[in-house]
Structure 1
Amino acid sequence: MTIRQLSYFVALAEARSFGLAARRVHVTQPALSQQIKELEANLGVSLVERLPRDIRLTRAGQVLLERARAILGDLSDAEQAVRLQRGLTGRVSLGVIPTIAPYLLPLALTRLKTRDVTLDIRVREAQTARLVEDLGDGRLDAIVIALPVPRSGMVAEPLFTDRFLLAGSESRLAMVRAARSPAQVPLDQLLLLDEGHCLADQALEAVCGLANRPMRVDLGASSLSTLCGLVAEGFGLTFLPEIAVRTETAAAPALRLRRFSDPEPSRTVALVRRASSQDDGWMRELAEILRDAAGELLAHAADAGRD
């Protein structure tokens, strides 16, 4: 077995298509197919069931997938230990959730480049489940997500507390003047992100305590910016994190905000790495830069929504 064969096999197992897997690893489909055939020949077993429009792993393939991911993760950890042996230098692959990325990254990346123009920072924006998977498999060095981390074997460095405000048009907010806690917001007026976005889960469960309540919630918006544009024009209400206030109020001048009573609903945002990866100071340095960038955004939002 070779590392190339294992990486091609993992790509195939995840993409469930020879064509998609080949594009993911930047080779031609015949080249990937040949490597998989050689891997099967070397092992003496069939790893993949080749179907007309799909592929399925055999039992042997499922066993190999688990081991291959662990091997590739260990290799990534070894590479990272060398790249980051002098702190935050070389190349860093960072994943960020969509409700943080467009607000935090512009400020943070500017600070990172100012600190070290040679730093090769590679950013991936995706939902929490995919980022945690990519971090665990070694495709990312660290991720920025909201706690708790939904997987063991991870180390989290809290960055900041991000409070939620009620957002909508002036007329909509006037209609719910008495709503001083998230649970008092009428569900038939509440708009949230698509299912799968962590902000939807946080708002409904941790923030609103609505996990066991009957729900009539429109989960049709795919981005927080789209959602803010809708509610600014009177199409319901939503919860807006402080970190997004500066950007979204500038983009939608009609958007109005109101703070909830204490204790204000919030989420804790953290920088997360694998526990198995070596930390020679790079995580602390990266966390300080991210925390500083977030502090500027939160300071701007400090007085937003206050009566």
Structure 2
Amino acid sequence: MASLTQLEYVLAVEKHRHFGKAARACHISQPTLSAQIQKLEDEIGFVLFDRLKKPVIPTDRGARYLAVAKTVIREYGKLAQFSGSDKEVSGELRLGIIPTIAPYLLPLFLTDFTQRYPKAKLIVEELKTESILRALEEDRLDAAI
């Protein structure tokens, strides 16, 4: 499973289209960045970037993965905004997520969320996209991925 750091690294490579520039932007060495991305690719079972092209570009499957990674980082940033009043957050958060990405995304933030917000109750519903949109419109979900 990808770590948030690995997701930040792959997004940096996508942004800079160059491993060395991405490493500098992340304040790490290029070999460290390359090793982390290679480790992630080994874990997910496919290559994220076509390294033979200059500038480096995402593969088709990599581009789809990067789109989800952007969402994860953006949503995690929203969770981080609660810092400082973590213990005071309570109530329910009703989250809709499509089944194809749930096994990949939920582990990235579920443990951290429950530890940071012990008084909050996270209710996750795996639904098809159409059902998620309807549930959001009908106020049966607070957020969706």
Q: TM-score if structure 2 supplies the norm length? A: 0.55
Q: Tell me how far 1:2 sits from its aligned partner.
A: 1.0
- CA deviation vs aligned residue, 1:117-142 (integer Å, no higher than 9, x gap): xxxxxxxxxxxxxxxxxxxxxxxxxx
1:30 is matched with which residue? Answer: 31
Gap change, CA 1:65 and 1:83, over 3 Å in 2:
farther
1-structure distance, mates of 2:13, 2:85: 30
Aligned partner of residue 6 in structure 1, secondary structure: helix
Q: Tell me how far 1:31 sits from its aligned partner.
A: 0.2
Give matches, 1:101-180, under 5 Å.
none
Q: Percent identical across equivalent pairs?
A: 33
2:136 is matched with which residue? Answer: none
1:46 is matched with which residue? Answer: 47
- Structure that is richer in helix per residue: 2
- CA deviation vs aligned residue, 1:271-297 (integer Å, no higher than 9, x gap): xxxxx8xxxxxxxxxxxxxxxxxxxxx
2-structure distance, mates of 1:43, 1:15: 22
Q: Tell me how far 1:34 sits from its aligned partner.
A: 0.3
Q: Tell me how far 1:53 sits from its aligned partner.
A: 3.3
Which amino acid counterpart does residue 58 of structure 2 have in structure 1?
A: L
Larger radius of gyration: 1
Q: Does 1:68 align with 2:101?
A: no
1:9 is matched with which residue? Answer: 10
Gaps of 5+ in 2: 87-142
- Structure that is richer in strand per residue: 1
- CA deviation vs aligned residue, 1:151-203 (integer Å, no higher than 9, x gap): xxxxxxxxxxxxxxxxxxxxxxxxxxxxxxxxxxxxxxxxxxxxxxxxxxxxx
2-structure distance, mates of 1:84, 1:58: 41
Give matches, 1:218-229, under 5 Å.
none
Gap change, CA 1:79 and 1:34, over 3 Å in 2:
same
2-structure distance, mates of 1:83, 1:22: 30
Q: Tell me how far 1:84 sits from its aligned partner.
A: 7.1
Which amino acid counterpart does residue 45 of structure 2 have in structure 1?
A: G
2:56 is matched with which residue? Answer: 55
Aligned partner of residue 21 in structure 1, secondary structure: helix
Aligned partner of residue 81 in structure 1, secondary structure: coil
- CA deviation vs aligned residue, 1:29-77 (integer Å, no higher than 9, x gap): 0000001101110011011000363201001110111110110111111
2-structure distance, mates of 1:7, 1:69: 9
2-structure distance, mates of 1:52, 1:66: 20
1:21 is matched with which residue? Answer: 22
Gap change, CA 1:59 and 1:34, over 3 Å in 2:
same
Which amino acid counterpart does residue 36 of structure 2 have in structure 1?
A: Q
